[in-house]
Structures are given as C-alpha cells and as structure tokens.
Structure 1
Amino acid sequence: MEYRELGRTGLRVSRLGFGGIPIQRIDEPGTRAMLKAACEAGVNYIDTARAYTVSEEWIGQALEELGLRDRFILATKCRALTKEEMESELAQSLKNLRTDHIELYQFHNPSLAGLETILAPGGAMEALLEAKAAGVVGHIGITAHLAAVFERALSVKEIETVMFPYNIVEQQGAELIDRCAAAGKGFIDMKPLAGGAIEDGRLALRYVLSNPNVTVAIPGMADPKELQANVAGSDATAPLTPEEQDACQKVRDALGTQFCRRCNYCAPCTVGIQIPSCFLFQGYLDRYGLEGWAHERYNTLKVKAGACIGCGKCETRCPYNLPIREMLKKVAADFGE
C-alpha cells in the first residue's frame, strides 16, 4: 500500500481509503469483518458521515471491539450550517464513533449559499475551529458535488481538504484538483468507480491514482471481493499503459450517453427540478442497492422528477448531450413520483 501526506495536515494516509456509504446495506458482523480486512490490507483511512444512517455507529462499534481505533484515520461529515447545529452534530459523531477525537471533520456538500453561511459569524466553521483548538477535531475539510463550491473552498484557508467526484468519466474537477494540490490542500476522491457505474474496479482505481494530485480515493465497500479488487487497483500507481488508456476510452464510450457528471450546466430547470440530485439519488438506488436511504434523500427534494414538463431547455445546456427528459422519466418511475 502506498501512503501520502494529506495536504499539509501531517496525516499520512493510504491512497486507498474505505468508503462507508455501503455499510448501510450489511450488518455489524459484516462491518467488523470488512474493517479487519481493510486494516490487514494496509488501508488506514475511513470515510463516513452523519447522513449515512448506521454507518458511523457500526464503524465505531467495530473499531472498539477490534481494538483498531488507533490504526485508522477517521473522517466524517455533516450538513450543519450554523455553529449550534455543528456542535450538536459533532457530539453525535463522537458518540457514534466511540472516540474522543476525529482526525478530519468535513462540511457535507453545502451549496454556495450554504458555504457562505458556514463561514459567516455564527456559522458552523466557528464550532469546528473551537473543536480543533480543543483537540477534538484534528483538521477541517469539505465535500462537494459542484465545481463552483470546490473552487470557492480553495480560497478558504481554514479548509484543509476537499472531496469531489473524479473518475474515468467525471472530469469536471480535473483542473481544480491541480489547483488544490498547488494550494497545499489534500484531495480526497469520491466516486472513483462512478458510484458503481464502472464495473472494472481495478482499472478505475488505476486511472484515479495515476494522478499524483489525488491523495486518497474512497470507493464504497461492503464485500471482501470489492476490497480485494480495490486493493489490486491501488498497488500500482505508475502511468497508465496504452492498453489501459484504450480500456478507459471504452468505458467513456459506454457511459457517455447515459451518465450524469453533476456539472450542473443543465440548471436552472424551468419548474425547479434539481436534475443532478435526481440522478445522484437514483444511482444510490440502482448501483448501491440502498433503497430506503435513496428514497429518504429523494424525498427531501421539493420538486420531484415527475414534475418535468418536457421543455427540453436542460438538454440544450448539457455538454454531454444527455437525454435528460427520458432519464427523468426513469427516475420518476423508479421513485414513484
């Protein structure tokens, strides 16, 4: 396993991390087995979130029972925007993870407006800075799905790490990843397998980790076979061979007409549908098998996919020429509205 410094945090992390979203679809014994195997494989970075239902709790229980807390760097996140909300969410994370400190605490996918609330007086940043001064939080990061939020985060000195989607088919953050490294911030890659859309896990991780500015990739894992495939993809970070580059292009060709990169160029929707979010939650339903959680997240949308009036304006803005109207019909059918 290769290890890298996570920006300027002083944390030395394995380039393959453990993504905790799929923990929700296994159980406590399965979580223990996965974390034990991950540790034995040299993985020392765990990512989870308050929003991932039982993920924090089962990870905390497993680390305590296995006696492995000190072998892992824990990273979690929450959607709090205000200081009061963050204090409450952080306290719950500490309780769930059964620890007195968390190495990296992140703002979970705020909008641009939400990030400004976080940074304003009385915002969530104040709570994390106080927790950092007290030694409860080691470092502060942010996760994002929109390039505009990623770019804004690069100008915030208190934010030490950025998490963003990057893989064979999602390239909207490529230039920002380079700027992230130049700014001395660690880059954490979410969705290295495009949420499971890329079936060849070894190739997907080879592609991601061949980029020297990617510090750690965090594929979701719930099965020992997934762990084995991901470890195989992380054990060689040399430049891609011509054959691997050809294979990557075949993946792009296969997914290019049906895969949303969440660049948000389709916005604004005439009736207010959050189009990328619809496709994101559908991915959790189709590829992660998280039916209950996907429905819960989808139900937070004020305007559902079924509200589409078929005007087609979104499709004229999409740089990937996606058939968005047809894709929204499938979302509506899958979620029932």
Structure 2
Amino acid sequence: MKYRNNRNGEPISILGYGCMRFTTSGGRIDIDKAEKELMEAYRAGVNYFDTAYVYTGSEAALGEILERNRIRDKVNIATKLPQYLIGSRTAIDRYFDEELRRLRTDYVDYYLMHHMTAMNQWDKLKKVGIEDWFAEKKASGQIKNIGFSYHGNTEDFIGILNSYDWDFCQIQYNYVDETSQAGVEGLKAAAAKGIPVIIMEPLRGGKLVNLLPDKAKELIASKETGYTPAEYGLRWLWNQPEVTCVLSGMNSIEMVQENCRIASSAEAGSFTQDDFDTIDKVKEIIKETELVGCTGCRYCMPCPKGVDIPALFRSYNMTALESKSNARFEYAQTVGLKKEPAFATQCIGCGKCEQHCPQNIPIREKLKEADKVVRPWNYRIGINIVRKFMLRG
C-alpha cells in the first residue's frame, strides 16, 4: 500500500474504504461479510475508512467491526455532520454525540461538513457558531481534522475552500468529471493551499467499469498494460500528486484485493503517454453517446440571466451514458441547490451564448430540450421544496 500525508505529516493510505456500499441483507448491513472485506483491506494497509451520519447503519457497522478486531487506534475514521439538518449549536452537538456512540469511539480522525453545494450553506453554519465549535472539539481532541465534502460548482468550492483554514476536503472527481463540480481547478486550488484532497466517485459508482460502451471496453482490453477499466480510472487519479486518497465502496473480497493490488504500485507521474491516449480515446467514445456536443469550455458563460448552460448539458449527456435518474439527481444537487437559481427557464433567448460557442451548438433550442428531460415537472417541484428547506436562513 502506498501512502500520502495529511497536513501534519501523518500517512493516509492512497486507497480509502468507502463504507456507504456495505452489502445489505433483509434491509440490514451484512456485518459478517462487511467485516471480512474491511479486514482484508486493513491487512493490505488501508487506514482510512469513510462513513456518514445518513449512510443507514454504516457508522454502527464500522464501529462494531473496529471494536471487535481491536483496531480503532490503528485506523482513521472519517464521518460527516449532516449540515443540511443543522439549525442550532445544540443540533451540532446532538448529531456529533450520536455519531460517537454509533462508532463506539470518543474521537473522530476526519470530520466533514457533509454535502456542501453553495457558499450560503457555510454562511448558515457560521451563524450558529460552527467555527467556535470546531475550535473546541479540536482543542479537546474529539476531532483531529476538519473538512468538507462538496457537490456544487467550482466557483463556490473555491469560495468555501478560502473561507476557513480547512485540514482537508472531499470532492467528486474522475476522468469524465475533470471539468465539472470542483473539477481539476478545485483540486489544484486545494493542493496549492496544502490541503489534502479525498476523492469520491472515482469510477462514478462503477459506471466507468460496467457501463462503459463496448467499444471502450474492447479498446482497454487490447492494451498491453493488462489494466482493467477500474485500474485505468484509479491510476489516472493516483497519477496526480494533488490527490491524497481515493475512496472505493468495496463490497466483495475480489474488489478489495484488486484495488489494494493497484494501490500497492500506483505512483504520481507514472502514467505513460499511451495511458493518457487511452483515457482520451475512451472519453471520445463516451462522447459519441452524447446528446449535445458541449465540451464544457464555458465560452458561453456567464449567461446574463444566470443559466448554468454547461451544467445542464452535462447532465443531459449523462442520461445517455448512465440513467435519467442519476443525471436528474446530480443536476438537482449541483445546480438546483445553488443560492441563485440557474435554470434553463430563466433564458430570455438573447443568443449571446451562441455567438461565443466554438461548437456552434444551437444553445437556445437545446436548453429547452435538455431541461424537459433533466428537470421534468416532478423534479421541479421537488427541487423547489428542497431549496426552501436547505437554503433558508
């Protein structure tokens, strides 16, 4: 197992164990199966285990497994405060204390503000005294490192990043998300401040393995490296020195063994030109399934009325690669929860965007088409309800 350091020089395994996808049986986590898989990873050198308050049963299962095997002090627990449910300082303490009980521990190594999407969420937390709470918990030793996980746009990510002296952060990032959400720009901004970056969705929940087009799978299989689709995705990430740890929701011994094998030899800067060319070709094949030929260059931005054009087109294209439900959910969280609305219905048809588009996309026409698919009537209602709840205050 390879390791990269946190801000204090303490080692973090480059492969982290994502505990959200433990196998369930009868609606409950299969604790014995999860224990076998987790301990296989631990013996291979994994020392970073990620869970969250809202991952049903996950914190309790992790706590039980670590206690059973007496390894709590040998690993790092990362868990998350459901910041979207916080309305007072008392609520912060209530959730945190419950998490400690579930995890059967008296401290958390890495504690994140969960699912941040916009600056106003951080502003709300500050109003209820989160910064003083951080200071108290770090002084008492109950929390060693403070961070946040993120699912918004690059601009707000950098805003939150610069608003506090964070110890680490967590972003969704992979070779098809290079320019979306926090993206490579956010990754490099964090690294420039010396802030470790934890990666989630490195293979888009397995979509860059199981749902790759057959043409892409055949290309990968033809390479002399012998790399699997998962291996290309993981090595692409670990090739970047700015990446500290990559989370994988491992739920089979075979998956644990494969990922640990890869993590035992992956080095920053080890990708060859042929490896880069292979990834580029895979991305080109994926683009063949796209509904709009948007490259995410953002020459169309800013829209005078605030429409996030690239984000909508990206989600629309996702409906062809993955599923409509996944695309709609991602659009809802990355665009729907921005402080200022950015929906296609705000378009007034001025055509300014089309004047700057290098791909000559009929943007005004495609906005209407994409919005109908990505934000149907029931999602519009749902997004409005969630906006009122999460963006209040």
Q: TM-score, normalised by structure 2?
A: 0.68
Match of 2:57 in 1: 54
How many angstroms does 1:262 deviate by? 11
Q: Is the 8 A contact 1:163 1:188 kept in 2?
A: yes
- Report how far residue 11 of structure 1 moved: 2.8
Name 1:220's counterpart in structure 2. 249
Taking a change above 3 Å as real, the CA distance of residues 324 and 48 of structure 1, as seen in their structure-2 partners, is farther
> Pick from 30, 35, 38: which aligns with 1:35?
38
| Residue range with higher mean Cα deviation, 259-268 or 207-216 | 259-268
Report 1:131-170 matches (<5 A): 131-146=137-152, 147-170=154-177
Q: Do 2:119 and 2:160's aligned partners in 1 also have CA atoms closer than 8 Å?
A: no
* Deviations 1:40-92 (CA, angstroms, capped at 9, x unpaired): 11111011111111111111111111222122111111222442222111111
Looking at structure 1, the residues matched to 45 and 197 of structure 2 have their Cα atoms a distance apart, in angstroms, of: 20
Q: Equivalent residues in 2 for 1:1-337 (5 A)?
A: 1-6=1-6, 8-23=7-22, 25=24, 26-80=29-83, 81=86, 82-110=88-116, 111-120=118-127, 122-146=128-152, 147-172=154-179, 173-199=183-209, 200-234=229-263, 235-237=265-267, 238-256=269-287, 257=290, 268=307, 324-325=370-371, 327-328=373-374
Q: Do 2:200 and 2:246's aligned partners in 1 also have CA atoms closer than 8 Å? A: yes
Q: 1:285 to 1:78 in 2, by over 3 A?
A: farther
Cα pair 1:154 1:183 within 8 Å, conserved: no
Q: Secondary structure at the match of 2:174?
A: coil
Are the structure 2 counterparts of residues 284 and 159 from structure 1 closer, same or farther at C-alpha, using a change threshold of 3 Å?
A: farther
Secondary structure (helix, strand or coil) at the match of 2:123 reads helix
SS of the equivalent of 1:52 reads: coil
Q: Note the C-alpha offset of 1:96.
A: 1.0
Distance, in Å, in 2 between the alignment partners of 1:208 and 1:68 is 28
1:272-309 CA distance string (max 9 Å, x none): x9x96xx79x979989xxxxxx99xx9xx999xxxxx9
Residue aligned with 2:15, SS: coil
Cα drift, residue 329 of structure 1: 7.6
Report the count of equivalent residues.
313
Structure 1: runs of 5+ lacking an equivalent: 288-293, 304-308
TM-score, normalisation: structure 1: 0.78
Give the deviation of 1:180 after TM superposition.
1.1
Tell me how far apart the structure 1 counterparts of residues 89 and 190 of structure 2 sit (CA, whole Å).
26
Provide the identity percentage: 26
Q: CA RMSD in A?
A: 4.1
Determine the C-alpha separation between the residues in 2 that align with 1:10 and 1:261. Answer: 38
For residues 15 and 227 of structure 1, the distance between their equivalents in structure 2, rounded to whole angstroms, comes to: 13
1:226-264 CA distance string (max 9 Å, x none): 222322332222421233222212331243427999999
Find the residue that maps to 2:105 and give its secondary structure. coil
Higher mean Cα deviation, 220-229 or 58-67? 220-229
Q: Aligned to 1:107, what secondary structure does the other structure show?
A: strand
Q: Distance in 2 between matches of 1:119 and 1:189?
A: 25
Larger CA deviation: 68-77 vs 209-218 = 68-77
Structure 2 portions without partners, runs of 5+: 210-228, 338-342, 384-393
By how many angstroms is 1:124 displaced?
A: 2.9
Aligned with 1:206: secondary structure?
Answer: helix
- CA–CA separation in structure 1 for the residues paired with 2:376 and 2:96: 37
Higher-Rg structure is: 2
CA contact (8 A) 2:324 2:374 kept: no
After TM superposition, the structure 1 stretch with the greater mean CA deviation from structure 2, 182-191 or 248-257, is 248-257
- Note the C-alpha offset of 1:29: 1.0
Q: Which residue of 1 aligns with 2:226?
A: none
What do the CA deviations read for 1:303-328 (whole angstroms, capped 9, x no partner)?
A: 9xxxxx996969x9899989734753
* Matched residue type, 1:126: D
Distance 1:38 1:261 in 2: 38
Q: Distance in 2 between matches of 1:188 and 1:160?
A: 11
